[in-house]
């Protein structure tokens, strides 16, 4: 796809979506929100603002220096890796306090990945994963405004965004609720079946995810603006589901979570002393058909599961 195809698409008078690609075949959506002030929800990876956001802004007569706020939905590398470029252009960085450390420590990202891989007996994959993460993360620039549930980001011109804490994907994942438009910007908070075909959702905190899904659903949004085109059983549910597709996202997110939780509980009960990788394989064998899993490039385990599987394992082991 030519760079010019990564252009803004209008979601609402005040909201535009920009799909941006990153290494490894990923695609993350940034959202431009305009009141009297201008905000960008998420910054992509290192280089995304310069390579993709700046040309797209130019098509609207704007430049990076016109972005007042970066509103991170959470602290993953494909959502905050571009923060430094925007901070250098003058933006203020917003992130929930429970993910704030990820904005000031790239090492934390590599340590978490290494720990997850070790729990699955895949520590030999850690160096490659660590190098990948460090290529995608920009310079650490920290957070200017630590967000909490219920906070308001006021862009002026009647564009107000309410911060809704929806943990599970990460501990500090949030949604931004643009009530007068009926739009909930969910980032990666509700994952359905995840962003990779035949893969798994990325869930670091399974014990918080159910509450996060229910909280997001309770907002009553007509439209979701998601970080990725999360999948249902028959393909993409996003990146901007509206109408009945909104309910389907919540239903799929809940059903996938419950399937994984049940599978790990059974696998741990059957083989309490087995290694983490063995338990994860046993658990996945019981849900492979239900979840239509076919993404297996981490030594027979889904590559999308390298954070999710150790997390469900930890919870099931108690
Ligand atoms: Zn994420």
> The CATH number of the domain where 141 resides is what?
3.60.15.10
C-alpha span between 8 and 47 (Å, rounded): 17
Strand ranges across the sheet with 223-226? 152-154, 160-165, 174-178, 183-187, 223-226
Identify the domain containing residue 203 by its residue range: 3-317
* Residues 148-173, mean pLDDT to the nearest whole number: 98
pLDDT-derived band at 4, boundaries 50, 70, 90: low
Instruction: Domain count for the chain, please give it.
Output: 1
Mean of pLDDT values over 138-158: 98
Task: Return the number of other C-beta atoms located less than 10 Å from residue 105's C-beta.
Answer: 15
Q: How far does residue 173's CA lie from ligand 1's centre (Å)? A: 8
Please tell me whether residue 12 adopts helix, strand or coil conformation: strand
Provide mean pLDDT across the span 269-285. 95
Amino acid 297: pLDDT: 75
How far is the C-alpha of 10 from the C-alpha of 19, rounded, in Å? Answer: 12
61 CA from centroid of ligand 1 (Å):
30
Neighbouring CB atoms inside 10 A of 124's CB total 10
What is the CA(169)–ligand 1 centre distance, in A?
7
What is the distance in A from the centroid of ligand 1 to the CA of 12? 24
| DSSP string across 181-238 | GTEEEEETS--TT-SSTT-----S-HHHHHHHHHHHHHT--SEEEESS--EETTEE--
Tens of pLDDT, residues 238-258: 999 999 999 999 999 999 999
In this prediction, residues 207-214 reach a mean pLDDT of 98
Does the pLDDT value for residue 262 go beyond 90?
yes
Predicted pLDDT of residue 1? 44
Residue with the bigger pLDDT between 260 and 298: it is 260
Q: What is the average pLDDT across 174-180?
A: 98
At 185, list the tokens. Answer: 């910007």
Tell me the CA–centroid distance for residue 110 and ligand 1, in Å: 14
Copy the structure tokens of residue 125.
Answer: 């994959």
Average pLDDT over residues 101-110: 98
Phi, psi of 40 (to 5 degrees): -120, 125
Task: State pLDDT tens for residues 60-76.
Answer: 999 999 999 999 999 99
């Amino acid at each position: 796809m030519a760079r010019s195809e990564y252009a803004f698409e209008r979601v609402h008078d005040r909201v535009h979506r920009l799909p941006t690609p990153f290494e490894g075949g990923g695609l993350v959506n940034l959202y431009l929100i305009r009141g009297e002030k201008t905000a960008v929800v998420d910054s992509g990876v290192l280089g995304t603002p310069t390579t993709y956001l700046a040309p797209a802004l130019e098509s609207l007569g704007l430049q990076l220096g016109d972005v007042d706020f970066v509103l991170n939905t959470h602290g993953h590398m494909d959502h905050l890796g571009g923060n430094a470029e925007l901070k250098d252009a003058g933006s203020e960085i917003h992130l929930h306090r429970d993910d704030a450390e990820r904005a000031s420590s790239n090492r934390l990202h590599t340590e978490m990945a290494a720990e997850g891989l070790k729990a699955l007996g895949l520590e030999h994959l850690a160096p490659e994963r660590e190098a990948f993460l460090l290529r995608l993360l920009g310079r650490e620039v920290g957070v200017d405004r630590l967000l909490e549930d219920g906070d308001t980001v006021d862009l002026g011109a009647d564009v107000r965004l309410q911060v809704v804490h929806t943990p599970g994907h990460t501990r500090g994942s949030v949604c931004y609720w643009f009530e007068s438009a009926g739009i909930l910007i969910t980032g990666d908070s509700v994952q359905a079946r995840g962003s990779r075909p035949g893969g798994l959702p990325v869930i670091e905190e399974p014990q918080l995810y159910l509450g996060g899904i229910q909280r997001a659903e309770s907002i009553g949004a007509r439209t979701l603006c998601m970080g990725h085109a999360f999948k249902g059983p028959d393909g993409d549910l996003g990146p901007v589901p509206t109408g009945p597709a909104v309910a389907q996202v919540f239903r799929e997110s809940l059903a996938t979570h419950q399937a994984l939780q049940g599978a790990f509980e059974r696998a741990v009960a059957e083989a309490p002393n087995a290694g983490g990788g063995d338990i994860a394989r046993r658990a996945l064998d019981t849900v492979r058909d239900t979840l239509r899993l076919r993404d297996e490039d981490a030594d027979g385990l889904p590559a999308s599961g390298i954070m999710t599987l150790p997390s469900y394992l930890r919870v099931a082991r108690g």
